Copies of this chain bind each other. A is one copy, B any other.
Amino acid sequence: MIDLLNTDEKPKDECGLFGIYGHNMDVATMTYYGLYALQHRGQESTGITVSDGKEFKNHKDMGLVGEVFNEKILAPLKGHLAIGHVRYSTVDSGLAVNTQPLDFRYLKGLISLAHNGSLINANEIRQRLALNGSVFQTTSDTEVIVKLIARYGQSSIEEALMKMMIDIKGAYSLLVMTEDQLIGVRDPHGVRPLCIGKKGKSYILASETCALDTVGAEFIRDVDPGEIVIIDNDGLRSIHAMKSSEQAFCIFEFVYLARPDSNFDGRNVTLVRRAMGRQLAQEYPIDADIVIPVPDSGVPAALGYAEASGIPYMEGLMKNRYIGRTFIKPTQKMRETAVRLKLNPIRDIIEGKRVVMVDDSVVRGTTSKQIVQMIRNAGAKEVHLMVSSPTVKYPCYYGIDTQERNQLIAVKQSIEEIREYIGADGLHFLSLEGMVEATGSSKDSFCAACFTGEYPLGISKRVGEYPMEQEVE
């Protein structure tokens, strides 16, 4: 599905992490390239902290990786280990103070953190710390985590991390850097991804394998749920701190969030999406003339649908590649213009055809309605919207910014009512089983709470004393 007119329907990608312990390389530039590959996980701010064994150097700002960094800015970031972060953030919190990594000095020296995920008991911990005299500058979970680590600062860093993991509940993949250690931590359920790569003698930790490919590193393995991975001059060692018996990897990474060329648990994302499309064709076979995707995210599933159904695949919607983040919103009168600026139907492909249009997910339904209308105006005889995931009915508490529950169209309306609303001749959502089947794993290895309402880690409670909104990281 597309993000149309800034009234984005899509769940927001959360954050991306990249860390490297390098040997004879420019770690800041490597991190820059790694973050470039992870840009889809967060476009609002980015930062890099580098350590030379003694001191940290840091640069972070609002903006894309390519805007925030240049040669001149990277040049002084000398060192042999680095961590970097890309972040999506809400407008209100769009302040430099909230960008990551966060650097601190504590009892044992310097420490830098970058975080992907969301805690459910951050406010309880915050209150506990405040009673003990802590102050907070941000509303971020990351600051809570670092202050917990500092409280356990009399221990070694490994022990401090293990104690901290006992305190915090929720979804997190963390990169921690000290003067001379690069550490990766993944929550006991393994909700958010984190993987290990190697390039020569240098180790890399990254949210997705596409970042390893980009820097020419070899994929070693995923970090295990509950694992702490410590990389220093002696290489890599691991502590399996507190693995949960239940796995809960976010299935939405497969559906939409991750980059198509990444692999999770050995499965390639684009192939899983294509399998979802094939599954969709089996569940909802239809007599039609062409299959078209909603670009770009609907392409793999549309190819899968076409493959399984034998209906020809055509690119019937042209996406403008130059739509930037700033953009003059049209008046109501020019509403259609604005949609067409992003997405233009090709009449010569669509006219007179029975069209199957494939999208990866539908959240609020307003964009789908606009696109269906455009396809009709371009002369389609029929328009059937096929969605390669189930209906989204529940908010995410584990690091993804979905809409408020009352904006999720499937909460209040039946599929038939949604079909009428968007004006399609047919509307079908892939079954939960079909979606899981396409991943090749079993249902109990995933968190699919946004579809099912079953939250494997529980949900967060807001505590009275700290009424700050929690942010997605």
User: For A348, what are the chain B residues with a Cβ–Cβ distance below 8 Å?
Assistant: 263, 268, 271
User: For A322, what are the chain B residues with a Cβ–Cβ distance below 8 Å?
Assistant: 36, 39-40, 43, 64-66
Residue-by-residue, is A315-337 near B (CB-CB < 8 Å gives 1, otherwise 0)?
Answer: 10010111110111011001011
A324 to B64, CA, bound (A): 9
- The answer to whether A107 touches B130 (Cβ under 8 A) is yes
Given contacts A97-B97, A322-B36, is CB(A328)–CB(B29) below 8 Å?
yes
A318 to B259, CA, bound (A): 8
User: For A33, what are the chain B residues with a Cβ–Cβ distance below 8 Å?
Assistant: 330, 334, 337-338, 341
Given B105, B151, B307, B349, which contacts A133 in the complex, CB threshold below 8 Å? B151
Output the nearest chain B residue to A374 by Cβ-Cβ distance.
B213
User: For A468, what are the chain B residues with a Cβ–Cβ distance below 8 Å?
Assistant: 105
Given contacts A210-B344, A299-B315, A344-B261, is CB(A150)–CB(B134) below 8 Å?
yes
A449 to B66, CA, bound (A): 38
A102, A216, A337 pick with most chain B CB within 10 angstroms: A337
A109 to chain B, nearest CB (A): 9
Of A67-75, A173-181, A244-252, the stretch lying at the interface with chain B is: A67-75
A29 to B468, CA, bound (A): 27
- The answer to whether A215 touches B96 (Cβ under 8 A) is no
Interface flag for A453 (CB, 8 Å): no
- The answer to whether A70 touches B268 (Cβ under 8 A) is no
Given B151, B328, B336, which contacts A71 in the complex, CB threshold below 8 Å? B328
Output the nearest chain B residue to A96 by Cβ-Cβ distance.
B96
User: For A270, what are the chain B residues with a Cβ–Cβ distance below 8 Å?
Assistant: 315, 318, 346, 349
Interface flag for A284 (CB, 8 Å): no
A164 to chain B, nearest CB (A): 12
A392 to chain B, nearest CB (A): 23
Residue-by-residue, is A262-306 near B (CB-CB < 8 Å gives 1, otherwise 0)?
Answer: 010000101100000000000000000000000010011001000
A29 to B146, CA, bound (A): 36
User: For A327, what are the chain B residues with a Cβ–Cβ distance below 8 Å?
Assistant: 66
Given B259, B300, B346, which contacts A261 in the complex, CB threshold below 8 Å? B346
Output the nearest chain B residue to A107 by Cβ-Cβ distance.
B130
User: For A318, what are the chain B residues with a Cβ–Cβ distance below 8 Å?
Assistant: 210, 259-261, 270
User: For A347, what are the chain B residues with a Cβ–Cβ distance below 8 Å?
Assistant: 268
Output the nearest chain B residue to A149 by Cβ-Cβ distance.
B135
Interface flag for A421 (CB, 8 Å): no
Given contacts A37-B320, A96-B96, A153-B133, is CB(A69)–CB(B344) below 8 Å?
no
User: For A215, what are the chain B residues with a Cβ–Cβ distance below 8 Å?
Assistant: 337, 340
- The answer to whether A303 touches B313 (Cβ under 8 A) is yes
Interface flag for A32 (CB, 8 Å): yes
User: For A66, what are the chain B residues with a Cβ–Cβ distance below 8 Å?
Assistant: 322-324, 326-327
A213 to B330, CA, bound (A): 15
Given contacts A66-B324, A133-B150, is CB(A313)–CB(B313) below 8 Å?
yes
Interface flag for A104 (CB, 8 Å): yes
Interface flag for A14 (CB, 8 Å): no
Interface flag for A103 (CB, 8 Å): yes
Interface flag for A166 (CB, 8 Å): no
Interface flag for A233 (CB, 8 Å): no
A105-B130, A135-B147 are known; give 5 further A-B pairs, CB within 8 A. Answer: A43-B322, A66-B326, A270-B349, A303-B313, A321-B321
Task: Enumerate chain A interface residues (CB-CB to B < 8 A).
Answer: 26, 29-30, 32-33, 36-37, 39-40, 43, 64-67, 69-71, 74, 96-97, 102-107, 111, 130-137, 146-147, 150-153, 210, 213-216, 259-261, 263, 268, 270-271, 296, 299-300, 303, 307, 312-315, 318, 320-324, 326-328, 330-331, 334, 336-338, 340-341, 344-349, 466, 468
12 contacts between A and B (CB under 8 A): A33-B334, A33-B341, A39-B322, A74-B328, A97-B97, A105-B136, A134-B134, A135-B146, A261-B345, A270-B346, A296-B321, A303-B313
3 closest Cβ contacts across the A-B interface? A261-B318, A268-B348, A104-B135
